[in-house]
Amino acid sequence: FYLLILTLLISVPLSLGAAIFLSQYAPDNAATAIAKTAIETLSSLPSVVVGLFGFLFFVLYMGWGFSIIAGAVALTMFNIPILVRVIQQALEDVPRSQRDAGLAMGLTRWETTIHVLLPAAMPAIVTGVVLSAGRVFGEAAALIFTAGQSAPVLDFTCLDFSSPSCPWNVFRPAETLAVHIWKINSEGVVPDLTAISNGTAAVLMVCILAFNILARVIGKYLERRLTSE
């Protein structure tokens, strides 16, 4: 969950800004076409390629080592194209009459986007965020090369963010549930391998289900508050 929150904190604002620019402000020229093509290409990039790039750049070149922040930034790299596409499509699906009505009432283009388009597109945006979060939950290939395959013994009472035992230290290595399943099955040295693997998979599925339900509830609540319906 910590890795997921960090990834969303980085990717959602960037994706939202990029989607608003492409759908409302970007001119229809060659540069915009190239940008959209690049987004389409990156959204289908295999996660193992992102993991290898993250290993070379963030882990080695930047000197972050196997760490949570390296994994979060690597996940952001293929999370942003998906979110940009979803948010851009959600904004473009809002009826043009609503946009024109806002402009006719004297609102600026930015005010119309914030107060008219975003509230109307919020359910689709939340759905896109949930889908991207589910991919983060189940991702293993990119995290093996960036976040690591093990974690130090954690002390949840420790507030020293530079300590390897502090759970909130973004520069410590971490092992997600999906990576744990891959690791114990690839090593094959755990005596009760099947039980641990099945239990970890069950916990992962319950976490994904709980997150999806919570996101749907929050999405409906935001839709009612923002659109007064």
- What is the band of 229 on the pLDDT scale with cuts at 50, 70, 90? low
pTM (2 decimals)? 0.84
Instruction: For residues 102-126, give the mean pLDDT.
Output: 84
Domains in the chain (CATH in brackets) are 2-227 (1.10.3720.10)
Ordered DSSP codes for 191-218: TTHHHHHHHHHHHHHHHHHHHHHHHHHH
- What is the band of 70 on the pLDDT scale with cuts at 50, 70, 90? very high
CB distance 178 to 143 below 8 Å: yes
Distance of alpha carbon 95 from its chain centroid, rounded? Answer: 27
Give Cβ neighbours of residue 228 (< 8 Å, ≥ 6 apart): none
CB distance 204 to 138 below 8 Å: yes
Summarize pLDDT for 10-58 with one digit per residue, the tens: 999 999 999 999 888 888 888 888 888 888 888 788 888 888 999 999 9
Alpha helices, DSSP H only, in 108-165?
109-112, 118-138, 141-144
- What is the band of 228 on the pLDDT scale with cuts at 50, 70, 90? low
| Stronger pLDDT, 70 or 218, i.e. the higher one | 70
Question: What pLDDT, on the 0 to 100 scale, is given for residue 9?
Answer: 92
> How many angstroms separate the Cα of 25 from the Cα of each of 29, 77, 96?
12, 23, 15
Summarize pLDDT for 202-211 with one digit per residue, the tens: 998 888 888 7
